[in-house]
Amino acid sequence: MATSKGIRYHDSVHTHVEALEERVPGKPAELKKLATLGIETVGDLLAHYPWRYADSREVTDIAGLAVGRNVSLVAQVRSAEVRLAQKTGKPRVEAKVTDGARTLDLVIFMPHRGAADFHVKRLVPGSLGLFSGQINVFSGRLQLANPTYAIFRHEVDEAVALEEAEWPIPIYPATAGLESDKIRAKVREVLAPLTEADVPDPVPDVVRAERHLASRWSALRGVHVPQTEDDWRKGQARLRYEEAFVLQVELARRRAHAQREESTARPARSGGLLEAFDARLPFVLTDGQVAAGEQIAADLARSHPMQRLLQGEVGSGKTVVALRAMLQVVDAGGQAALLAPTSVLAAQHVRTLRALLGDLAEGGLLGGSEIGTRVALLTGAQSTAERRSNLLEAASGQAGIVVGTHALLSDPVQFADLGLVVIDEQHKFGVEQRGRLQAKAANAPHLLVTTATPIPRTVAMTVFGELEISELRHVPAGRSGITTHVVPADNRPWMDRTWNRVREEVERGGRAFVVCARIDADDEADGADAADGAEMVPDEPATVGEAQAAAQRAPRKPLRAVLEVAETLRDDPRLGGAAVGLLHGRMTSEEKDRAIADFTSGRTPVLVSTTVIEVGVDVPAATIMVILDAHVFGLSQLHQLRGRVGRGSAPGLCLLVADAPEGTVAAQRLGALAATTDGFELARVDLELRREGDVLGSAQSGKRGTLRFLRIVSDGAVIDRARDDAQALVETDPELAAWPALRAAIDLQLADGREEFLGQS
């Protein structure tokens, strides 16, 4: 086996960055900078792939470079000269490079005049070079300070073989003091001695042959040392498939494991709660609700645990579908637990379930149905007496349906026969939390995951790959829809009209939500906001072409806060004296319940709130929502918030008050939201605008195990092929005994939080 200075490739994935010094040229300080990029081993270094490729014959568009980012660009030298500092007399080189349309300043600080003259001789006007460093702004001008650089046709030809001067130039994600060209040298040093036999391949030979894929060694050579554009494109395609395949193999193994587990079958029966509930429904189920219900009913009737994702449009009736599943389980002698992420949502679920069930939710009580059950609520904020009563109902089986927050996971909570776990807004819970609830069942309970954030099929196959998927794409009949408009925050006439519209809706008997990103004006953005569930989107960095305009714009105003806005609106004549309530995460459960009740009844027809009302809050009279600072929210969260209005017979109106200059990503998000109410289309747009790590959650932002080439939004065909190949492989060898390299790759994928990520499905 070939080695790299005595260290085998196989072993190097577990060797920390300090040991790299023996076989990678460079100073210890540079090696420590590798660690800041997440590079701790040789394996990490070879997985630090170029983010783009430069052509030494073509210049880089300077306008598209991001201010504050470490970049590498190909540009032509326009001028270079030595200047002396007025106070100290120390020399510096001032140069300009150009892409033909824009120029960028370079400044190199030198200890003495001779060193400065040396750089001026290298930076010959008209020559092309590769310049690396961080884009900054100094005295209103954009510059690269102390960049590293190499001039083509001169230094490159001397450093490498003559033919390499025409090869594509890999540009790596870099950091200050460790530019792309230095990383490229280290990667090539490690890769050079390796042969195909040194690099384990997680994709089996038979699969590679079937899919006409190159080996992993060839792919690494292609992306790191390409001789043509075709080389790195083929290398990326191979590694893209590998990422999909390794992930899908693990998901296939988990599906197979679930199929081997035993669960108690919960078939539907005649004359029970479900039949009685269906008979009294005041509306007709949509086709989607019927289809999803049939799929779930069939799953529950089997003796292995159901694992199903129910995703749907905002207001599409997921609660009714989930309730019908719970009633089928209760009819079969079991219990259902509904886990909600917040106490507000848990309490709302209980109110909704009891209202839908009527006397069917009063089993054993005076006036209750003879075949009825009970709906119990468990949260951490309940009084001792109330909690003790609900614990007893759950443990005795009197409560066929138990709704709660994380309090359901605590040790004192016991069930007589837990048959179904329903998890609302699954992304709010981790695998350990879900496991603690499932462990309260004698046999593996059935699992139904619901999400009000529609997910494109390719994403669902990856993020929720263990689960079968049911979709609800249509809302029940009788709803009038929602109209959405973007309101510029600095346009006074539009703002006046916004608050006048709120007054008009209230005068017609409607209710108005006003949503803020913060609770208090003194709160930090990542403090109170995060506590109340606001998923704020940071501003995108300005590019060189936008930097001047951005610098001229006034500083962003502080984000509006609930306490401040509520106080202001109470004295605002534009609201005509309408009573204003407030709701936020620091309030007690009793205070939150009172705020929702007052809003629902009309005692406070205007409710100023944080994003705690994002899901589950169902007030049919709510007809208008004003979202302040809408530009800082993510698209999916805006869609969820908007779904709180227009749920009755009256049409809904959503006004997005924002500071989003035209052409920014924030403006694109808001424009997409105003253009459509189709949550599945918005999910597609959202995922195109977001980074892949954002799509997959925080576990995907780790150093290892991240998807580097696979784009789950657009690579549906690759995922389909990988899923088919993975399923076939696992069916023949579920333990992967014949494929140790594949097992090792799965372990690496699951490192640093990946296990948690997959477990959340």
Average confidence (pLDDT) over 681-685: 82
Q: Does 134 reside within a domain? A: yes
Residues near 485 by Cβ (< 8 Å), separated by ≥ 6?
653, 654, 655, 656, 674
Separation of alpha carbons 424 and 436, rounded Å: 16
Q: Answer whether residue 745 is part of any domain.
A: no
| Residue 60 structure tokens | 């880089």
- pLDDT digit string (tens) for 121-180? 989 998 888 888 888 888 778 889 888 887 875 544 444 434 565 788 888 887 767 778
Domain that holds residue 23: 9-46
- Bridge partners, residue 243, by sequence: none
The answer to the question of residue 521 being in a domain is: yes
The total of other beta-carbon atoms located within 10 Å of residue 81's CB is 12
Domain check: are 620 and 509 in the same one? yes
Q: 291 and 410 share a domain?
A: yes
Residue of 412, 417, 353, 428 lying closest to 378 (CA atoms): 412
Among candidate residues 527, 525, 528, the one with its CA nearest the CA of residue 538? 525
Q: Please check whether residue 646 is in contact with residue 479, taking contact to mean a CB–CB distance below 8 angstroms.
A: yes
Residues 294 and 404 in one domain: yes
pLDDT (tens digit per residue) in 644-670: 998 888 999 999 999 988 878 889 899
Q: What mean pLDDT do residues 289-311 have? A: 94
What confidence score (pLDDT) does residue 149 get? 84
Q: In terms of domains, do 57 and 23 share one? A: no
Mean pLDDT of the chain: 82
Residue 388 lies in a domain: yes
CA distance 224 to 330: 59
Residues facing 335 on adjacent strands: 418
Mean pLDDT of 446-469: 74
Which is more confident, 679 or 117?
117
Band (pLDDT 50/70/90 cuts) for residue 738 is very high
**Cross-strand bridge partners of residue 339:** 404, 423
pLDDT at 631 over 60: yes
DSSP 277-323: HHHH-SSPPPHHHHHHHHHHHHHHTSSS--EEEEEE-TTS-HHHHHH
Q: Identify whether residues 42 and 57 lie together within a single domain.
A: no
d(CA 409, CA 394): 13
Given 121, 156, 171, which residue is the final one in a domain? 171
Q: Does 688 fall in a domain?
A: no
* pLDDT in the model for residue 460: 66
Same domain, 579 and 613: yes
| Residue 238 in this model has a pLDDT that exceeds 90 | yes
- Give 463 or 700, the one with higher predicted confidence: 463
Amino acid symbol at 109:
F
Q: Which two tokens stand for residue 499?
A: 């608050």
Which pLDDT score, from 0 to 100, does residue 760 have? 44
Domain termination residue (choose one: 634, 660, 676):
676
335 φ, ψ (degrees, to nearest 5): -125, 160
Question: Which pLDDT band, with edges at 50, 70 and 90, does 531 fall under?
Answer: very low
3-state class of 10 per DSSP? helix
pLDDT in the model for residue 167: 82
Q: How far apart are CA 568 and CA 495, in angstroms?
A: 14
Please tell me whether residues 527 and 638 are part of one structural domain.
yes
| Claim to verify: residue 34 and residue 73 sit in the same structural domain | no
pLDDT at 758 over 60: no
pLDDT digits (tens, 9 = 90+) for 572-610: 999 999 999 999 988 988 898 899 999 999 999 999 999
Q: State what percent of residues in the chain have pLDDT above 70.
A: 81
Q: Fill in the amino acid letter for 203.
A: V
Establish if 690 belongs to a structural domain: no
Output the pLDDT for position 9. Answer: 46
535-561 tens-digit pLDDT = 666 554 445 444 444 444 445 678 999
Q: How confident is the model at residue 699 (pLDDT cuts 50, 70, 90)?
A: very low
**Domain boundary residue among 171, 196, 218?**
171
- The β-bridge relationship of strands 418-424 and 468-472 is unpaired
List the CATH number of the domain containing 544.
Answer: 3.40.50.300
Distance separating alpha carbons of residues 760 and 396, to the nearest angstrom: 30
Dump pLDDT digits (tens) for 478-516. Answer: 667 899 999 999 999 999 999 999 999 999 999 999 999
Residue 146 within any structural domain of the chain? yes
Residues 29 and 69 in one domain: no
| Residue range 194-205: mean pLDDT, rounded | 90
Between 760 and 387, residue with greater pLDDT: 387
Structure confidence at residue 69 (pLDDT): 74
| Contact criterion met (CB below 8 Å) for 480 and 649 | yes
Element spanning 378, H or E: strand 374-378
Greatest mean pLDDT among 268-272, 473-477, 611-615, 750-754 lies in 268-272
Q: Are residues 662 and 541 in the same domain?
A: yes
User: Do 636 and 502 share a structural domain?
Assistant: yes
CATH number for the domain harbouring residue 80: 2.40.50.140
pLDDT at position 430 is 52
The pLDDT assigned to 458 comes to 61
Locus of tokens 């007054």: 503
Q: Report whether pLDDT(12) > 60.
A: no
pLDDT recorded at residue 312? 81
pLDDT in tens, 46-98: 889 998 887 766 667 887 777 777 777 888 899 999 999 888 889 999 999 99
665 occurs within a structural domain = yes
Cβ–Cβ < 8 Å for 758, 250: yes
**Domain count of the fold of the chain:** 4
Judge whether residue 111 has pLDDT over 60: yes
> What count of other Cβ atoms lies within 10 Å of the Cβ of residue 91?
21
**Same domain? 290 vs 423:** yes
